[in-house]
Amino acid sequence: MKTKIVAIFFLLISISGFSQIKRELGTKFDYNGKDEKDLKVVLVDNYNHYMFSVINIDGGMMPTNKLIIRKFDQKNQLVDTFTEEFPHKDVFTLHNYLGSFEIGNEKLVVVTDTYSNKTKKKELHKITFDKKTGTFDTTLISEHTFESLSKSGTAYAMVSQNKNYIGVVYSKFANKKVAEEHECAVIDGRTGDLLWQKNVSFPLLSFTDNVVLNDSGKFIFVRTTKETGSKNVLAIADGNTIENKDFGTEDVKIKKPLSFSVGPNDYLLAFDTYAHGVNRGEYGKILMYDVNAGKVLKNNFLENFNQIKDLNKVNFNTLFVQNDEIYVFVDCDFQSGTKPDPTFPNSTFKVPEYSNGYPSLLIFTMDGELKRSVDYKVLSFKEGNKSIGVQNIKGNFYLNTYVKGLNHYYNGIYQLNNGSIDQNIKRLSLDEDGTVITQFGNYLPEAKRLILAESYGDTKMAFINVTGIQL
């Protein structure tokens, strides 16, 4: 009886909320759904929001490498579009988009990598968009030379979990006869200024598998050495020192970890396998590592992803620490077919096509023990879109997703109840004629306004204002 009363109570709240909610569809605008990548809503305030995307296509008859930033007003009308070409727009130069990161809600920093086989030169640039002036500023981070394209090295951009630091790493070509060198730079995530830049080198026969940036602005290199074989060790580098850590007696090889902090303590969360012996698959275990103490807190067995066909990787979506628990939302990329190779558009060459789906919530204790996991049966989306969008508002979790029903999938903003989707406290449904972009979703509590968006095929999109909604 008590359970029924609670369910009715939440249902009445939901009905009351729906009666006050208003939806307002903005004007549809053009976009290129096939070529524009990494779509995200940025620089949001009560007056404007912006949509960022990038086109990064080299080769073929029409190479295109540019940033696109669209500005919208309170009524979701498109009021301006800003574009910026990647540096060195010529037929001899190749381009890589490495990532984009917000500096508060005033600026957006984009990191690019350009390299030319003609000049044998690689350059990393920081392109900053300032919404006050509507202008772009391009700054050279570092410049390098190389022997050939196959030995041009690899560049990465990343952000710390607390968003206070942006890291850029250029890893030079290395092999068994050439020792590793990494040109590292840290940018202040609050101002956009370059904080420090340093070359980090390791001995011969020492190889880096992954690198992440922690909440203190230090790079954590996940490495193997001649002495450890396949087993991983860690090297933690800042502008002055390199500190080595290991996993003690744990015989582990980890996937790219997630670094986060709780107070003064730093932690790593990572999927792992046995470095030697019989494995349970790449995602059969997940460990919590105390960086300060230099030890594994707990290595948990995990069954969630064993049955996913053609699994490519599992992504850490978002992480929250509250109520003495660690909540980690993850989703999966899996091969769902093939598509024409964009590098050779007029050929019969095919490349894998991936979709995103099978999201889960993993709940850990502060001691690193996997307390519970929740799988969500939701609609998968082709690459470029996420199967869920997660918001944490005043300690409550909301998912923007399509939940499986009897006959089809139903979109909505679903409030989680103890981690699970509870239809009794579904907060919103959208029944427009488009497809809701689930990774979009910005709530403005002062205005009680939720900004969502829908796409209409690969050519049109519109933002939606949902007003009078209390989350």
What is the pLDDT confidence band of residue 191, given thresholds at 50, 70 and 90?
A: very high
The letter for the amino acid at 135 is T
**Average pLDDT over all residues of the chain:** 91
Checking if the pLDDT of 32 tops 60, the result is yes
Checking if the pLDDT of 9 tops 50, the result is no
Q: Does the reported pTM lie above 0.85?
A: yes
Segment 154-185, tens digit of pLDDT:
999 999 999 999 999 999 999 999 999 999 99
Spell out a b/e string for 106-134, using b for 16 or more CB atoms within 10 Å of the CB, else e. Answer: ebbbbbbbbbbeeeebbbbbbbbbebeee
Q: Which structure tokens are listed for 287?
A: 């460990």
> Shortest CA distance to 166 belongs to which of 192, 137, 140, 201?
192
Q: How far is CA 185 from CA 165, 172, 230, 438, in A?
A: 10, 14, 28, 33
Query: What pLDDT, on a 0 to 100 scale, did the predictor assign at position 137?
Result: 97
DSSP 299-348: EEE--TTTT-TTEEEEEEEEEEEETTEEEEEEEEEEEEEEEE-TTSTTS-
Query: What pLDDT, on a 0 to 100 scale, did the predictor assign at position 31?
Result: 95
Query: What pLDDT, on a 0 to 100 scale, did the predictor assign at position 231?
Result: 93
Query: What pLDDT, on a 0 to 100 scale, did the predictor assign at position 277?
Result: 67
6 Cβ contact partners less than 8 Å away, ≥ 6 residues apart: none
Most confident of 61-65, 326-330, 415-419, 427-431: 326-330
Checking if the pLDDT of 367 tops 60, the result is yes
Q: Tokens 């001995």 — which residue? A: 203
Mean pLDDT, range 408-415, rounded to an integer: 90
Give the count of alpha carbons within 13 A of 343, CB side only: 4
Domains and CATH numbers, the chain: 38-442 (2.130.10)
Judge whether 375 and 403 are in contact, CB under 8 Å: no
Spell out a b/e string for 340-365, using b for 16 or more CB atoms within 10 Å of the CB, else e. Answer: eeeeeeeeeeeeeebbbbbbbbbbbe
Q: Lowest-confidence range among 199-203, 228-232, 459-463? A: 228-232
Segment 276-311, tens digit of pLDDT:
766 667 899 999 999 999 999 999 999 889 889 999
Checking if the pLDDT of 332 tops 50, the result is yes
Secondary structure (3-state) at 234: strand
Query: What percentage of the chain has pLDDT greater than the value 70?
Result: 93
> Shortest CA distance to 450 belongs to which of 433, 420, 428?
428
Most confident of 9-13, 309-313, 341-345: 309-313
Distance between CA atoms of residues 228 and 237, nearest Å: 20
